[in-house]
Amino acid sequence: MALTDEQRRKLDRAQQILRYDFTNEHFLLSAITHPSAIEGRAVKYSYERLEFLGDSILGAIVATEAFERFHDLDEGGLTRIKVALVAGSTLADIAGELGFADIIVFGSSEAGTGKRGLHSALENVYEAVVGALFLDGGISAAREFVSRTVLPLMSQDLALEPENPKSALQEKLQEDGITPTYKLVETQGPPHDRTFVAQVFAGSQGLALGTGRTKKEAESQAAKSTLARLGEFFGLGLDGDARAEKAEAAAKAKAEKAEAAARAKAAKAEEKARRKNERERAKQQRKAGQ
């Protein structure tokens, strides 16, 4: 199959970014081709099947590295590290920084929408590229790319992140009597490649946004972002010291409010008494004049 000028240009750029020359470029072409560009041809011509393969290979590489690096972590800690690194938002951010937005082959229908599904496409193409590298160069080629792009983000701190950010956020906020709610604020992309945007709310106060390929993932990412920014939203990190400071400030504000109310009440009573005295004097003066 003859390549278009766009396909040739994007294939060359992709191989520069990946630092790998493909023996079979059709693996890479499929990995960087958005479903909107295949115009009814077989699914193998877009990234959808390679995405499935790459997701499994990426997970295995990350899990193996975490297992070998952190000998003191239990299954839960290792799982949290893996989940954080293979999350859609993480992969989309990495792909964006690598310049993947410039190598994706979109169809005319998607190009006309301004590529609203770009965030989802970046994640999908990253996984598909891992699959393409595996098919063309074996596990070593896939591992080299993942080691250069994802594994530098690995740290034991990720083991402390909650597996369920929504539950963790609810637990944190309910300590202050707040129950978080979630609202779908935007849906991006065509029906076959949706990206959802959700926002966390504390009452009527909007907190962080999150994106994902499902509503559930978008809400989870919004909760995760809110957890990381609690101090920004509420002026405290919800730890013991901050909670004490908050309580002290609230008590002080309450005392000041009560004192101000008492002063206002006393002033009002004084003014009422003054007016009553003036009325009495005026009444007495009228009687004396008669």
pLDDT in tens, 151-203: 999 999 888 876 678 888 887 888 788 889 999 998 877 776 678 899 999 88
Query: 25 and 66, same structural domain?
Result: yes
Mean pLDDT of 89-103: 92
pTM for the whole structure: 0.62
Provide the pLDDT for residue 10.
Answer: 95
Query: 149 and 70, same structural domain?
Result: yes
Among residues 97, 127, 160, which one ends one of the domains? Answer: 160
Query: 79 and 30, same structural domain?
Result: yes
Query: 212 and 98, same structural domain?
Result: no
pLDDT at 84 over 80: yes
Q: Which residues contact 206 (CB under 8 A, 6 or more apart)?
A: 199, 200
Lowest mean pLDDT among 33-42, 97-106, 230-239, 278-287: 230-239
Provide the pLDDT for residue 235.
Answer: 62
Q: Tell me the CATH number at 184.
A: 3.30.160.20
Provide the pLDDT for residue 109.
Answer: 64
Domain tally for the chain?
Answer: 3
Query: 185 and 156, same structural domain?
Result: no
Known catalytic residues are 55, 127
Identify how many contiguous H helices and E strands the chain contains and give both numbers. Answer: 11, 3
Q: CA nearest 208: which of 166, 167, 236?
A: 166
Q: How confident is the model at residue 237 (pLDDT cuts 50, 70, 90)?
A: very low
Query: 17 and 73, same structural domain?
Result: yes
Among residues 187, 219, 234, which one ends one of the domains? Answer: 234
Q: How confident is the model at residue 239 (pLDDT cuts 50, 70, 90)?
A: very low
Provide the pLDDT for residue 212.
Answer: 82
Query: 101 and 36, same structural domain?
Result: yes
Lowest mean pLDDT among 43-52, 166-175, 256-265, 278-287: 256-265
Query: 141 and 15, same structural domain?
Result: yes
Provide the pLDDT for residue 114.
Answer: 47
Provide the pLDDT for residue 217.
Answer: 84
Query: 109 and 218, same structural domain?
Result: no
Query: 148 and 28, same structural domain?
Result: yes
> Over the stretch 199-222, which tens digit does the pLDDT of each residue have?
999 888 899 988 887 888 889 889
Among residues 197, 218, 234, which one ends one of the domains? Answer: 234
Query: 282 and 142, same structural domain?
Result: no
Query: 171 and 137, same structural domain?
Result: no
> Over the stretch 118-159, which tens digit does the pLDDT of each residue have?
777 898 999 999 999 999 999 999 999 999 999 999 999 888
Instruction: Determine the structural domain holding residue 226 and report its residue range.
Output: 165-234
